[in-house]
Amino acid sequence: MSIATLRDENERLKALLAQTQAALSEHQGALAASEEARRRLEVILGELRRDKFGSKSEKLRPDQFHLPLEDVEIAQGILDAAQERAEKVIQGRSRSDPDDRGSHRNRGCLPAHLPRVERIIEPASTLCPCGCGAMTKIGEDVSKRLDVIPAQWRVLVTRRPKYICRRCSGPVAQAHAPEHVVPGGLPTEAAIAHVIVSKFGDHTPFYRQAEIYARQGIRLDRATLGNWSGRACFHLQPIADHMRRHLAMADRLFMDETTAPVLDPGRGQTKKGYFWAIASDDRGHSGPSPPIVLFRYAPGRSGAFAEQFLDGFGGSFLQCDAYDGYDRLTEVVRPQGPWTLVHCWSHLRRRFVKLARNSKSPIAEAAIRHIAQLYAIEAMARGASPDIRLAARKEHSLPMVAALKSWFEKQLSMISSGSTLAEDIRYALNHWQGLTRFLEDGRLELDTNPVENAIRPICLTRKNALFAGHEIGAENWALLASIVATCKLNDVNPAAYIAETLEAIIDGHPHSRIEDLMPWRFRKASSPHQ
């Protein structure tokens, strides 16, 4: 082959190689663009899934960490049982012999107040196999296990004997019939309290309760359970009214709202209402006032409802999120002056957590770390007096907040103004005054978590019950939920409280002493029998 031919072939191969490389580059560019589009779609899809099905909080509750561990522990239990069985077979022990290795597990978890039911397991024979006669007891092995009796209903039979004098045939003597929430009806006040707490405390709607009771042979439809709860609601109204008066005297309040689907008569559909939560919680600075939460229903989310619910309240500070409906409260004409809004760092942090999770933004991750430092300072000062808390904030938090604002402004000048990150930073800077008010008063909190934690059970009950039957039902729902939630805030057994409070009200407890019936005055929950 000639040199010219080889040269031509070489040029042709070079041209083919260049063409192939160009095509490869083009394909790689298209692949990169496709991959970027796929990543964007995955982020959008993941965000939609989390918004629809995931937790609304960026922070996992402690009990959520146990969910995956429970499956592991079940599997470990199976392995332990198999290993124990194998050891018994290998060592030739009887299946009934105690396993010394595990006999003391959880020994300290059996409270002393639980009733003890003893049983004695005697050998088949206590006669000596050698024919010596009866053997002598020299000791015993004792094991304790936790047993359960399913929630047991019982029938209370009330007899009212009648007496008459047989000599003079005078009037008949008989005790008056006691008053009940349901006159002449089936339930005791304790049974009604159980139904209420099951729904508004344990998130079990009436129809599910009816199914549970049916398994014990008790036929109660959900309409009956609802009627009982409605009657209790009527008698408990003075309790909720007095709780509102307490809230009206608080100088600082928390407020939040959540949706409440309500049936719309005539349309066969639901309309969106809202539960508004108003809370007072001074435990963060060891204040003397008891924690209280009051739920109110409104057909909308307008700030006019917030103004309506706070009418007559004498507080100065309202801790809330940055929903612009609350802004009108800063212009309300009151003897105390307009409300001062204190905004929530948790809501700001939530924005950056969502961004960091979706886009892995290093700026968002840095913002989360900065905000975490503020929470660390708050954790150290929690429970201290307002003066001590304020001094700690002035010394440690104030310089960090000032530096964080400068850092936000610098980052905002370096990133695209249309990005989500820029939007989140502008959110922080636009609400900076409300976010930094905690530096002015030691009674203020860094976030609105007290009211968010109180409103979370409403969301669970709403999810399980789907919707309220009508707006009046939603108002009753709010009243009963307020009492149950306030009991929980005060570490009071809500079932015991509601049962005894209903009995006291039915027995004629004077309204002038309604303060004695408040949840924070109820101390039976401290008893182990409650």
Tokens of 69: 């561990």
The Cα 152–Cα 247 span in angstroms is 38
Q: What is the DSSP string of 404-467?
A: HHHHHHHHHHHS-TTSHHHHHHHHHHHTHHHHTGGGT-TT--SSSHHHHHHHHHHHHHHHHH--
Q: Cα angle at 45 between 40 and 49, to 5 degrees?
A: 150
Task: Tell me whether strands 340-342 and 317-319 are parallel, antiparallel or unpaired.
Answer: parallel
- Rounded to a whole number, what is the distance in angstroms from the first to the last CA of the chain? 105
Going by C-alpha positions, the residue among 229, 251, 310, 313 that lies closest to residue 481 is: 229
Going by C-alpha positions, the residue among 382, 402, 405, 404 that lies closest to residue 392 is: 382
Q: What phi and psi, each to the nearest 5 degrees, are found at residue 2?
A: -75, 165
Rounded to 10°, the helix 362-381/398-414 angle is 170
Going by C-alpha positions, the residue among 325, 328, 377, 322 that lies closest to residue 346 is: 322
Note the pLDDT of residue 321. 93
The range of the structural domain enclosing residue 417 comes to: 345-447
Note the pLDDT of residue 54. 61
- The answer to whether the beta carbons of residues 396 and 377 sit under 8 Å apart is yes
Domain tally, the chain: 1
The Cα 501–Cα 519 span in angstroms is 9
Q: For residue 387, tell me if it sits in a domain.
A: yes
Q: For residue 89, tell me if it sits in a domain.
A: no
The Cα 235–Cα 505 span in angstroms is 7
Q: For residue 392, tell me if it sits in a domain.
A: yes
Note the pLDDT of residue 80. 66
Tokens of 442: 């030691």
Q: For residue 430, tell me if it sits in a domain.
A: yes
The pTM assigned to this predicted structure is 0.75
Tokens of 375: 């929470």
Rounded to 10°, the helix 189-200/449-465 angle is 100
Q: What phi and psi, each to the nearest 5 degrees, are found at residue 454?
A: -70, -30
Q: For residue 422, tell me if it sits in a domain.
A: yes
The Cα 475–Cα 296 span in angstroms is 7
Q: For residue 90, tell me if it sits in a domain.
A: no
* Residue 183: Cβ-neighbour burial (10 angstroms; 0-12, 13-18, 19+): exposed
**Rg for the chain, CA atoms, rounded:** 34
The Cα 17–Cα 463 span in angstroms is 64
- The answer to whether the beta carbons of residues 318 and 296 sit under 8 Å apart is no
Q: For residue 88, tell me if it sits in a domain.
A: no
Residues near 107 by Cβ (< 8 Å), separated by ≥ 6? 144
For residue 122, count other CB atoms closer than 10 A to its CB: 6
Note the pLDDT of residue 204. 87
Splitting the chain (530 residues) into consecutive groups of 10 residues, what average pLDDT does each group show?
76 84 81 67 66 56 44 58 71 51 49 83 85 86 78 85 84 86 86 92 88 87 87 91 95 90 64 88 92 92 92 93 92 91 94 88 93 94 94 95 95 88 94 95 93 78 52 78 93 93 92 94 55
The Cα 14–Cα 9 span in angstroms is 9
| Helix (H) or strand (E) segment spanning residue 308 | helix 303-309
Cα-to-chain-centroid distance, residue 287: 23
Task: Tell me whether strands 292-298 and 269-280 are parallel, antiparallel or unpaired.
Answer: antiparallel
- The answer to whether the beta carbons of residues 493 and 530 sit under 8 Å apart is yes
* Residue 8: Cβ-neighbour burial (10 angstroms; 0-12, 13-18, 19+): exposed
Q: For residue 384, tell me if it sits in a domain.
A: yes
